[in-house]
Structure 1
Amino acid sequence: MKEYQVILIDKNEKKSNEILDSVLWKKANCLTDFSSPWKNDPFSKIEFRALWDLENLFFNFRVFDTDIYLDRKDDSFDSIGNSDRVELFFRANDSLNPYYCIEMDTAARIMDFEARPNKDFDFNWKWPKNEIEVKVSKEETSFTVEGRISIQSLEALNLIQNNTIKAGVFRAKFSLVENLQYDATWISWVNPNTETPNFHIASSFGKFKLL
C-alpha cells in the first residue's frame, strides 16, 4: 500500500489568520505520483502536501491547470459533482463500512458525505462545521485548494489508528468534448486496478503516516 508521510509542525508556528503560510508548506513532503489508469491522455501536474500539528491535519492541492470548469447553476451537490474538483476520502476499515468523502471545487464549495459499499451515499451527513475549513487561490499557472480538518473529528470517526490514516487522494478534471458536453478524467494517487473509474473501493486508498 502506498504511504505518504505527514510531517508534524509546531502549532505555534502557524499564523492565526490563515490555514498555513508558504514557509510551512515547504516543510511538507510533496506527493506527485498521480495517474489516470483509464485514459491515456496527459493531464496537468498535481502537487499534494499535508502537515499536522496535533490539533489539525492540513492539506494542500496545487493543480497546474488554468482551464477550469465550474458548474455555477446553483450550489447543490449536483453542481459541485459536475465541476473540476479535488477529493479526499478516509476509511476506518477495509470493508468501507463506513467511509467519508470530502470533494472540493475551485469555488471552495464542499461536498462532504458518509458512504458505504456499492456507492451508498448519505448526503445528509456533514462534517462538523467548525472542524473543517477550505480556501482556494488562483495563480497564473495553477490553482490551489487548501484546508484543515481537526484531529478531534478524525479521531471521533475512528479514522486515526496507530498514527495512520487510510486515505484516498483524487482529482476530477472536466474537459469540453463537443456540443457543450464535458467529459471527466479521473485521477488518483493510488491505482485501484479497476476496469472503469472507481474511487469508491478499498484498493484506491493509501496510508497517511503521522510522524
Structure 2
Amino acid sequence: MKKYKVKSIGNNTIAISGKCDDLKWNSAEALTDFISAWDDEPIKRIEFKSLWNNTHLFFCFKVFDSEVHIDKTDDTVDSIGNSDRVELFFRTDAELNPYYCLEIDPTPRIMDFIAYPNKKFNFDWNWPQKDILVKSHKEKDYFIVEGQITLASLKEFNLIKNNKIETGIFRAKFNQQEDLSFEPTWISWVNPNTETPNFHTPTSFGELHLID
C-alpha cells in the first residue's frame, strides 16, 4: 500500500485561505505521483500536501490546468459531478463498509456522501459543517483547493487507526469533445488495477501516516 507522511505542526495551526500560502505548508511533503491508469494521454502536474496538529488534518491540492470545466447549472450533485474536481475518500476498513467521500470543485462546492460496497451511495449524508472547512483559489494556469477536517470527526467515523488514515486521493479532469460535450479523465494516486475507471474499490486506497 502506498504511503504518504503527514508531518505534525504541533500546537500550531494553518490559516486556511484557499491559496495554501501559510508558510507552514513549506514543511509538508509534496505528493505528485498521480497517474491516469485508463488513459494514455500525459496528465498535468498535481500537488497534494497534508499536515496535522492536535485538532485538525489539513490538506492542499494544487492542480495545474488552464482549461478548467465547471458546470454552473446549479449546486446539485449532478452539477458538481460534471465539473473538474479533486477528491478524498476515507475508508473504515478494506471492505469499504462504510467509506466517506469528499469531492470538491474549484469554486469550491462540496459533494460529500457516505458510501458502501458496490457503489451504494447515500447523498443525504453530509460531513458535519462544524468539522470541515474548505476554500479555493483559481488562477490562469492552476487552481487550489485547501481545507481542514477535525480529528474528532475522523475518529468518530473510525477513520484513524494507529495514526494511519486509509485514503484515496483523486482528480476528475473534464475534456471537451468534438461534439462539444465533456468527458472525464480519471486520475489517482494509487493505480486501482481495474479494467475500467473505478475509484470505488479497495485497491484505490493508500495510507496517510500521521508522524511527529
Pairwise same-fold verdict (TM > 0.5): yes
Residues 141-152 of structure 1: pairs in structure 2 closer than 5 A: 141-152=141-152
2:113–2:122 contact (8 Å) kept in structure 1: yes
C-alpha distance after superposition, 1:74-102 (max 9, x if no partner): 00010000000000000010110000000
Structure 1 residues 18, 144: closer, same or farther in 2, change over 3 A? Answer: closer
Cα separation, 2, equivalents of 1:209 and 1:12: 19
Asked whether the 8 Å contact 1:171–1:188 carries over to 2, the reply is: yes
CA distance in 1, matches of 2:51, 2:9: 7
Partner of 2:186: 186
Q: Residue in 2 aligned with 1:73?
A: 73
Residue 10 of structure 1 and its aligned partner are, at CA, apart by 2.8
Distance 1:134 1:62 in 2: 14
1: CA distance, partners of 2:168 / 2:113: 14
Per-residue deviation, 1:13 = 5.0
Does the CA contact (< 8 Å) of 1:14 and 1:21 recur in 2?
A: no
Q: Structure 2: where are the runs of 5+ without partners?
A: none
* Identity %, equivalent residues: 54
Alpha-carbon distance, 1:8 to partner: 0.2
Separation in structure 2 between the aligned mates of residue 18 and residue 39 of structure 1, nearest angstrom: 33
CA distance in 2, matches of 1:192, 1:87: 15
**Structure 1: runs of 5+ lacking an equivalent:** none
Q: Which residue of 2 aligns with 1:129?
A: 129
Q: Residue 68 of structure 1 aligns to which amino acid in structure 2?
A: V
Compute the RMSD of aligned alpha carbons.
Answer: 1.3
Match in the other structure for 1:96: 96
Partner Cα distance (2:130, 2:67) in 1: 32
Residue equivalent to 2:45 = 45
